[in-house]
Amino acid sequence: YAIFKDYIEKIESGDGSLNKFSRAYELFGIIIDKDNGVTAREWAPAAKQLYLTGDF
């Protein structure tokens, strides 16, 4: 239980709440909006480079 509680405290200190953390899928990832527009977002604070590849 102590390890679980420690993780919850880390999540809440970084994201503000467990609820906000659990809803990150609404902002990050590949998202298709109502007009069929596509947005790709990734959280990578220490990344030096990111690549998006595909057949567009």
If one counts the domains in the chain, the total is 1
pTM beyond 0.85 = no
Q: Is residue 52 part of a domain?
A: no
Indicate whether 46 pLDDT > 90. Answer: yes
* Mean pLDDT on 31-47: 93
Residue-wise pLDDT tens digits, 9-31: 999 998 889 999 999 888 899 99
Rg of the chain, C-alpha, whole Å:
15
- Tell me if 51 is assigned to some domain: no
Contact 6, 13 (CB under 8 A): no
Residue 22 lies in a domain: yes
CA–CA separation, 49 vs 38, rounded Å?
21
Q: Is residue 53 situated within a structural domain?
A: no
**Confidence at residue 56, expressed as pLDDT on a 0 to 100 scale:** 75
Q: How many helices (H) and strands (E) does the chain have?
A: 2, 2
